[in-house]
Structure 1
Amino acid sequence: MAFLDRSHIVLTSDRAIGARGKELFAGILLVALIATLGIRNVVPTDALAPAVVTLLFAVGAVAAAFALVCRRDRFRIAWLDLAGSLTFIGVVLSVLIEPDQLIRLCGVSDQSE
């Protein structure tokens, strides 16, 4: 019963990295909330959801780029987890967007097709 022998498992004391990742994630979501409140006055109410989703995708892309630049494996994994989480939240919020809202964000020209 080799699978019951857990003596080869080494406990690491690097729990501070996970705690920093949680604090970083909470901070980024707080900044996204503050940015949403700021964007609310700039864009129409119908275009708020697409703007927030675009903001989450952009922050997720920046986090993924930082993970690719990072040299340490532990920090890279934390940044990639953060980027994946922000992208997942953006995808979930994008389900709530109606096509009309996205058209209002991009703007419609007066040209006929």
Structure 2
Amino acid sequence: MAFLDCSQIARTNDPAPAARGKELFAGILIVVLIATFGIRNVVPADALAPAIVTLLFAVAAVTAGFALLCRRDRYRIMSFELAGSLTFIGVVLSVLIEPDQMIKLFTLSHQPE
């Protein structure tokens, strides 16, 4: 009956810790949404879309920088995917921006148009 005991022959490895990509992505989007509500009071309404896109690109750059510093392959790939998806969302939103809105973002608000 000793040959029926397979625990000595094939050892199972412990499963790798689960990467929390969806939760992290949802958290990043919630932080961007809260920052958008804060930016809404600072910039004019026409300059809100360029400010959001700039914020998305900045968060994507920070996420990619974190991925470059990370040594684990699984978390590194997940971070690069998060950075890529944030960049993609920023590019899609930047299509909706008119050039006049970008000019309003960089001009001083107290100057007449």
Q: Do they superpose with TM above 0.5?
A: yes
- Kindly provide the CA deviation profile for residues 26-61 of structure 1, in whole angstroms up to 9, marking residues without a partner as x: 000000001001100000000000000000000000
Q: Percent identity?
A: 74
Segments of 5+ residues of structure 2 without an aligned counterpart are: 1-13
For residues 13 and 85 of structure 1, the distance between their equivalents in structure 2, rounded to whole angstroms, comes to: 27
**SS at 2:18 equivalent:** helix
User: Does the alignment pair 1:87 with 2:113?
Assistant: no
**SS at 1:58 equivalent:** helix
For residues 21 and 105 of structure 1, the distance between their equivalents in structure 2, rounded to whole angstroms, comes to: 33
For residues 63 and 24 of structure 1, the distance between their equivalents in structure 2, rounded to whole angstroms, comes to: 11
For residues 65 and 27 of structure 2, the distance between their equivalents in structure 1, rounded to whole angstroms, comes to: 18
Distance apart, 1:86 and its partner CA: 0.3
Partner of residue 63, structure 1: 63
For residues 17 and 95 of structure 2, the distance between their equivalents in structure 1, rounded to whole angstroms, comes to: 35
For residues 33 and 13 of structure 1, the distance between their equivalents in structure 2, rounded to whole angstroms, comes to: 35
Partner of residue 16, structure 1: 18
Matches within 5 A, 1:1-113: 13-14=15-16, 16-17=18-19, 20-107=20-107
For residues 46 and 63 of structure 1, the distance between their equivalents in structure 2, rounded to whole angstroms, comes to: 28
Give 4+ residue runs of structure 1 displaced > 3 Å after superposition.
12-15
Q: What is the one-letter code of the residue matched to 2:105?
A: L
Output the aligned Cα RMSD.
Answer: 1.7
Greater Rg by CA = 2
For residues 64 and 39 of structure 1, the distance between their equivalents in structure 2, rounded to whole angstroms, comes to: 23
Distance apart, 1:14 and its partner CA: 3.8
Distance apart, 1:16 and its partner CA: 1.8
TM-score (norm 1): 0.80
Distance apart, 1:13 and its partner CA: 3.9
For residues 15 and 75 of structure 1, the distance between their equivalents in structure 2, rounded to whole angstroms, comes to: 10
